[in-house]
């Protein structure tokens, strides 16, 4: 790389002087160390200036992309109604973790209330081990359900107690049965609900705590609730 710079410098001197010389003429006359040092300084300066220009362009591009993303996010939120509040979750810190007692209570609420309509078909019982329950507790919980398995050696299906590798049971056998039982509405699966909604956990919490009694004089459709 250094010899390439020297060669370009020699070619520049030839063009400026207007004298045609051969390469052997320059081989016979060694270059001055001071001249080479000056050329190296000029090259370093131009390289530094080029680096500054590149960083400036990258910064401008990143700022433009960030602005476009902010505008797109705001317009997307506007299309889906009012933005939900931002709650001070204790696990939002860099070194924070989930409250395992809270996860256990949440699973109990799901079992007693939500599981009658909503499925969590992508979650297995083993996912609860070490998170909300011990392995023994989870095995006992899984054994309470019956799972259709098979076929056996005779080619017949059979039922067995659940185990850790089994997924949570679904409340309805198919979508049509779910819609029929809920007045035409299809309860969404809750396995990835915080990833499937805008603003994730804030949206879900605002929705669950946003139900109120209807104002006086307002008629609410049967089998529905008023959420604000």
* Strand 226-227 with 211-212, pairing: antiparallel
Kind plus residue range of the DSSP H or E element containing 65: helix 33-79
Q: How many C-beta atoms lie closer than 10 Å to residue 45's C-beta?
A: 10
Cross-strand bridge partners of residue 146: 161
Instruction: List for the chain the helix, strand, coil content (%; round to 5).
Output: 50, 5, 45
Q: Where are the alpha helices (DSSP H) in 113-153?
A: 135-142
CA dihedral 185, 188, 193, 199 (to 10 degrees): -20
Contact 182, 117 (CB under 8 A): yes
The sign of the torsion formed by the CA atoms of 127, 133, 134, 139 equals: negative
Phi, psi of 129 (to 5 degrees): -70, 125
User: Tokens 């107690």 correspond to what residue?
Assistant: 161
Q: Where are the alpha helices (DSSP H) in 80-119?
A: 100-112
Is 107 annotated for ligand binding? Answer: no
Is 68 annotated for ligand binding? Answer: no
Contact 213, 226 (CB under 8 A): yes
Residue positions forming the annotated binding site for heme c: 114, 117-118
Residue positions forming the annotated binding site: 114, 117-118
């Amino acid at each position: 790389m250094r010899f390439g710079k020297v060669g370009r410098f020699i070619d520049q001197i030839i063009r400026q002087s207007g004298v045609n010389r051969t390469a052997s003429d320059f081989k016979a006359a060694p270059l001055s160390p001071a001249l080479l040092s000056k050329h190296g300084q000029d090259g370093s300066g131009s390289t530094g200036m080029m680096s500054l220009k590149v960083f400036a362009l990258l910064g401008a591009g990143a700022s433009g992309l960030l602005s476009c993303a902010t505008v797109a996010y705001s317009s997307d939120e506007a299309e889906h109604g009012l933005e939900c509040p931002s709650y001070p979750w204790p696990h939002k810190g860099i070194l924070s973790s989930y409250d395992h007692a809270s996860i256990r209570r949440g699973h109990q609420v799901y079992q007693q209330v939500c599981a009658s309509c909503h499925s969590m078909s992508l979650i297995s019982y083993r996912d609860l081990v070490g998170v909300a329950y011990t392995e023994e507790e989870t095995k006992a919980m899984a054994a309470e359900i019956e799972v259709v398995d098979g076929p056996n050696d005779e080619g017949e299906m059979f039922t067995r107690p659940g185990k850790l590798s089994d997924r949570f049971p679904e409340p309805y056998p198919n979508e049509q049965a779910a819609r029929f039982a809920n007045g035409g509405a299809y309860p969404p699966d809750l396995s990835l609900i915080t990833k499937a909604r805008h603003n994730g956990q804030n949206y879900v919490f605002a929705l669950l705590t946003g139900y109120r009694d209807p104002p006086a004089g307002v008629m609410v459709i049967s089998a529905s609730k008023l959420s604000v």
